[in-house]
Structure 1
Amino acid sequence: MADIFRFKQFGVDQSGCAMKINTDGVLLGALAQAENPQSILDIGTGTGVIALMLAQRFTDAQIDAVEIDAIAAETAGNNFKNSPFVADRLTVFPVSFESFFEDHPEKKYDLIISNPPFHINSLESPKAKKTLAKHADGDFFEILIKYIAEHLTENGLCWLVLPLETSALVKALVQQYRLYLQKVIAIHSFEESAPHREVVRFGLNEISEVKSKMVIYEAVNKYSEEYKKLLHPYFIAF
């Protein structure tokens, strides 16, 4: 039986995907901004949900989506085909991001986005697919940031959602590869709780870093007005 999550303008079949639609992904898809991007890359697309959110918002963009898990890549491809967006605007590549960049050295992007594996040097999940989707070590992020630096357009931007420990590592790597941290959004479950994620934006241009926060819940089981406004274009419930 299909496991379909319905959005206002599209549906996402999650069948066979280790990583289901989650708050990290939809927050990243809704928060990421760029000035009229014509080329977008979603690294580790999973079900394709972030790519579809960006296709809805940036109606002129060509979007490439990379996914190493073959079953998830097939699911994402079907989600793209079944969406109301022009089919040739969304293309899925069932390979690792390393292989993708090696096979397409000429590609440059106005917007690169990723909800990457984030359990650095942690114990592996007993389920192999879950392990593949959510585990990585420091080398993974160094390679990722290196390739991103090489494949951004002059004014291109990269947006990532990360746990705090991983975000600290990525911020250091950004400097190492002559990129500039431009924006950090701290994600809090509640107003009084400590942040548990950061959404970071960086690019090739040095500008003043902007820091802000996003609170998901106003109270237990009650979303904040800020969160509902952000997801209003996408979620049927909002």
Structure 2
Amino acid sequence: MRSVFRFKQFEVDQGNCAMKINTDGVLLGSSTYFPDARRILDIGTGTGVIALMLAQSHPHAFIDAVEIEEDAYQQANINFQKSDFAERLQVFLGSFVDLQPELAYDLIVSNPPFYTNSLHNPDTRKRLAKHTDMLFFEKLLSFVSRYLTDNGQFKLIIPSALADEAIAPILSDYKLYIQHETTISSFSGEIPIRKVWGIGKKARPLETQDFHIYADRGIYSDHYKTLLKPYFLAF
């Protein structure tokens, strides 16, 4: 995999990151738009790609990012400083649970680790990036309930089974509600493999959308190309 991934308005060096740029990350970054957001937080920023995409699409927002793995933190910091959005981006080394922001965030995003209870990954850094259990999500939802503004939104992308079986049942414990759901499948008509949730503090009628990545083998769908066109050189 190439070390530097070039986008239309920035580039991302991922050579020192255990977790590389992937479809989940760019889908979350490209599908997240909250025009009133002035303060944004990216939890588990990795290479920083989602934060950079949000800096492009939210030109009036200041974006904080947090990353627990030191090599990824260093890489994200370099990527931020090399971008045209450097003055609006900053990254912190450590866990989000240690953050104590003075002001709440209008938008919080996360492409979290999701190999729940999987301890068999031989690559230590990749295990750190992907290993999690329910305690992680409980801490994540607790943080969101505390530091999200009343009218703000929390966006995350997670496997469908994990979303339905583990996360949805505990949202009410933190007075959080799913406001928007996008189900993502590889091809039209297939079982969804991911869900993008927009979660907020206010209960409202659920808005839903279906999204498929491919029109045919090796051919991206028009929806995918439209979504990524502002970012990908290929589109």
TM class, shorter-length: over 0.9
**Residue 124 in 1 paired to residue 120 in 2?**
yes
Code of the residue aligned with 1:147 in structure 2: it is: F
Code of the residue aligned with 1:42 in structure 2: it is: D
**Residue 73 in 1 paired to residue 73 in 2?**
yes
**Residue of structure 2 in register with 1:146 after alignment:** 142
Code of the residue aligned with 1:71 in structure 2: it is: D
**Residue of structure 2 in register with 1:165 after alignment:** 161
**Paired residue secondary structure (1:195):** coil
Code of the residue aligned with 1:34 in structure 2: it is: F
**Residue of structure 2 in register with 1:203 after alignment:** 200
**Residue 228 in 1 paired to residue 225 in 2?**
yes
**Residue of structure 1 in register with 2:182 after alignment:** 185
**Residue 135 in 1 paired to residue 131 in 2?**
yes
Query: How many Å apart are 1:122 and its aligned residue?
Result: 2.1
Distance in 2 separating the partners of 1:57 and 1:69: 26
**Residue of structure 2 in register with 1:26 after alignment:** 26
**Residue 176 in 1 paired to residue 170 in 2?**
no
Conserved 8 A contact 1:124-1:135: no
Distance in 2 separating the partners of 1:124 and 1:42: 27
Offset from partner CA, 1:40-83 (integer Å, 9 cap, x none) = 00000000000000000000101000000011001000000001
Code of the residue aligned with 1:134 in structure 2: it is: K
Distance in 2 separating the partners of 1:99 and 1:26: 26
Query: How many Å apart are 1:105 and its aligned residue?
Result: 4.7
TM-score (norm 1): 0.95
Offset from partner CA, 1:128-180 (integer Å, 9 cap, x none) = 10001011001110111011110001111000000012212222222111111
Conserved 8 A contact 1:41-1:64: yes
**Residue 93 in 1 paired to residue 78 in 2?**
no
- Structure 2: runs of 5+ lacking an equivalent: none
- Structure 1: runs of 5+ lacking an equivalent: none
**Paired residue secondary structure (1:157):** strand
TM-score (norm 2): 0.96
Q: CA RMSD in A?
A: 1.1
Conserved 8 A contact 2:33-2:57: no
Conserved 8 A contact 1:38-1:60: yes
Conserved 8 A contact 2:145-2:201: yes
